[in-house]
Amino acid sequence: MPTRTPTITQPDADRLPGNWAVIQWAGLLNTDDGAPVDLVPYADRSIQVTGTFGTGGNCRIEGSIDGTNWATLTDPQGNSLDVAVAKIEAITELVRFIRPRITGGDGTTALVATLLVRGTLR
């Protein structure tokens, strides 16, 4: 179960001012997880999952306050963020850490989880 390190893109202050970031975990294979990211300054969060899901492919979006104990996050309708088809969802819970975890799939499963976060300007 490899842990994939995300790439983090933040705005070029001269071109796109704002307090936002895009965090992307690429190459997520069956049983992989993403290294957690600390999101304290960001209140708004949306997740997009794309790629090849394969048979039974699922990307679970998890959150933690302490970085040790993890729980499945939910969308605004209260549905667990167990993503089995490509889509974008808002994340309801405001937790310190978020990570994706691949909980199902086969040898063809190869997913990308992209998180957009936005906070208030300081």
Write out pLDDT tens, residues 6-53: 999 887 656 656 688 999 999 999 999 999 999 988 889 999 999 999
**Contact partners, residue 14, CB within 8 Å, separation at least 6:** none
Count of domains forming the chain: 1
- Cα distances (angstroms) measured from residue 34 to each of 13, 23, 53, 99: 28, 11, 16, 5
CATH code assigned at 30: 2.60.120
Task: For residue 50, give both structure tokens.
Answer: 């794309």
Angle at 91 between CA 15 and CA 49, to 5 degrees: 75
What is the pTM for the complete model shown? 0.92
**Domain enclosing residue 54, as ranges:** 3-11+21-116
Query: What does the alpha-carbon distance between residue 11 and residue 22 come to, in Å, rounded to a whole number?
Result: 9
User: Is 80 domain-assigned?
Assistant: yes
